[in-house]
């Protein structure tokens, strides 16, 4: 079951990413030769107009094959035959749709289960927050100059503090205040925040009901939070603050899904659905961020070449660019194999 769920999650996230490329390419007049989910031999295919739609054997990745993507010899309306600005839109459309998917999933989850906001509902007695003058009803808007829109932001920003002193920005009765709070490393700030009820919990005692637009707004900030922690994790990887053991690929994700599934299915099917949706939202944000990295073969790497072309007012040689992207793809594949072996090793 965990394998099936993981395949479904990967399939949806990748399909939305490639659909972003697909629909933007169509709108820009580019011929799309194939829209594929998965890699390897074709399991299913259907020709519709100029585009072949296919599902392939290995449920990892996918692609939107545009005419003339890496050469200029095609008679069809190709990727290289349109303006550089339109090509930028097509390249970034996949990442954009991944972010939209993450926000959408988060918003739907919040509609059903609510969310923890950034308004203080209770302050623990003798806590650092109480000693600094923070009171119930205050709205925490920043921690050490980093904005906070949800409780997730508050917790993350506090965890990233480099000293025991924290500057807490908060609003009270429409006025902005700052408090210098001393929080020893093993202590908590000492606040509880309000939990807004879902659309289906209206009238529940002690809960402030959240409407449709509030759900969308909170879903947006939850998506922003996921993007932020993904960038943070990548930064730690590149600065060697984390090891390869902290990195997981599809095999590692399947193992994580299995762990969550086994725990949540004992509670209820509904709990499992929510947990799997949260994983899908985080994976979608993660895929969007990864594709933004300026690495050859990724969308971010292709976007860098388009920026250079826009500045130079002429493209880089297709042969040279193709070689660079091929080298980048080879490195990514090698890294993927390394991560896969590491995932298997951890399972064994």
Better-predicted residue by pLDDT, 283 or 58: 283
**DSSP string of 143-200?**
ETTEE-SSHHHHHHHHHT-SSSEEEEEEEETTEEEEEEEE--TTS---EEEEEEEPTT
Q: 0.95 cut: is pTM over it?
A: no
- Which of 219, 328, 210, 317 lies closest to 277 in space, CA to CA? 219
pLDDT at 42 over 60: yes
**Mean pLDDT (whole number) for 304-318:** 89
Position 75 scores a pLDDT of 60
For the chain, the helix, strand and coil percentages under 3-state DSSP, each to the nearest 5: 55, 20, 25
Cα 28 to Cα 82: distance, rounded to the nearest angstrom: 8
Q: Which of 23-37, 57-71, 87-101 has the lowest mean pLDDT?
A: 57-71
- Specify the 3-state DSSP secondary structure of 120: strand
Cα 138 to Cα 119: distance, rounded to the nearest angstrom: 6
- Which of 106, 265, 109 lies closest to 200 in space, CA to CA? 109
Q: Is 82 left (phi over 0), alpha (psi -120 to 50) or beta?
A: beta
- Which of 185, 184, 182, 176 lies closest to 142 in space, CA to CA? 176
Q: What is the 3-state secondary structure (H, E, C) of 316-336?
A: CCHHHHHHHHHHHHHHHHHHH
| Neighbour count for residue 17 (Cβ, 10 Å) | 26
Better-predicted residue by pLDDT, 69 or 123: 123
| Cα–chain center distance at 242 | 20
Model confidence over 203-222: pLDDT tens digits?
Answer: 555 456 678 888 999 999 99
Q: What is the mean pLDDT of the chain?
A: 87
DSSP state letter for 80: G
Position 227 scores a pLDDT of 94
- Are 176 and 141 in contact by the 8 Å Cβ rule? The answer is yes
Active site residue: 18, 50, 72, 178, which one?
Answer: 18
- Which of 137, 194, 132 lies closest to 168 in space, CA to CA? 132
CA angle 117–119–123, rounded 5-degree value: 120
Model confidence over 256-272: pLDDT tens digits?
Answer: 899 999 999 998 899 99
Cα 15 to Cα 101: distance, rounded to the nearest angstrom: 11
Better-predicted residue by pLDDT, 40 or 197: 40
| Cα–chain center distance at 170 | 28
pLDDT at 154 over 80: yes
* pLDDT band for position 342 (cuts 50, 70, 90): confident
Taken in order of first residue, the domains within the chain and their CATH numbers are: 115-197 (2.30.42.10)
**Mean pLDDT (whole number) for 344-348:** 81
Helix (H) or strand (E) holding 141: strand 139-143
**Mean pLDDT (whole number) for 81-104:** 94
* pLDDT band for position 71 (cuts 50, 70, 90): very low
Position 210 scores a pLDDT of 76
Instruction: Provide the greatest CA pair distance for the chain.
Output: 75
Note if 122 is an active site residue. no
* pLDDT band for position 3 (cuts 50, 70, 90): confident
């Amino acid at each position: 079951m965990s394998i099936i769920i993981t395949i479904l999650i990967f399939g949806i996230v990748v399909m939305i990413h490639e659909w972003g490329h697909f629909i933007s390419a169509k709108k820009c007049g580019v011929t799309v030769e194939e829209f594929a989910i998965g890699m390897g031999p074709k399991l299913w295919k259907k020709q519709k107009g100029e585009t072949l739609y296919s599902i392939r054997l290995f449920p990892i990745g996918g692609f939107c094959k545009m005419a003339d993507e890496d050469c200029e010899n095609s008679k069809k309306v190709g990727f290289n035959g349109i303006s550089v600005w339109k090509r930028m839109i097509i390249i970034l459309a996949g990442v954009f749709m991944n972010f939209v998917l993450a926000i959408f999933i988060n918003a739907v989850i919040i509609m059903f289960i609510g969310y923890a906001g950034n308004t203080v509902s209770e302050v623990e007695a003798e806590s650092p927050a109480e000693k600094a003058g923070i009171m119930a009803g205050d709205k925490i808007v920043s921690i050490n100059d980093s904005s906070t829109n949800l409780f997730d932001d508050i917790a993350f920003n506090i965890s990233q503090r480099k000293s025991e002193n924290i500057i807490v920005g908060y609003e009270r009765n429409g006025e902005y205040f700052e408090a210098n709070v001393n929080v020893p490393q093993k202590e908590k700030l000492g606040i509880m925040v309000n939990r807004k009820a879902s659309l289906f919990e209206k009238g529940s005692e002690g809960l402030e009901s959240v409407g449709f637009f509030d759900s969308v707004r909170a879903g947006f900030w939850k998506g922003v939070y996921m993007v932020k922690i993904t960038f943070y994790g990548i930064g730690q990887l590149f600065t060697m603050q984390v090891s390869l053991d902290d990195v997981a690929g599809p095999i590692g994700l399947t193992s994580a899904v299995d762990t969550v599934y086994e725990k949540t299915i004992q509670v209820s099917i509904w709990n499992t659905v929510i947990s799997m949706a949260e994983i899908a939202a985080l994976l979608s944000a993660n895929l969007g961020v990864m594709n933004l990295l300026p690495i050859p073969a990724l969308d971010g790497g292709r976007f860098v070449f388009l920026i250079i072309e826009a500045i130079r007012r002429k493209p880089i040689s297709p042969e040279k660019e193709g070689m660079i992207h091929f080298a980048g793809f080879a490195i990514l594949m090698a890294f993927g194999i390394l991560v896969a072996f590491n995932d298997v090793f951890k399972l064994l």
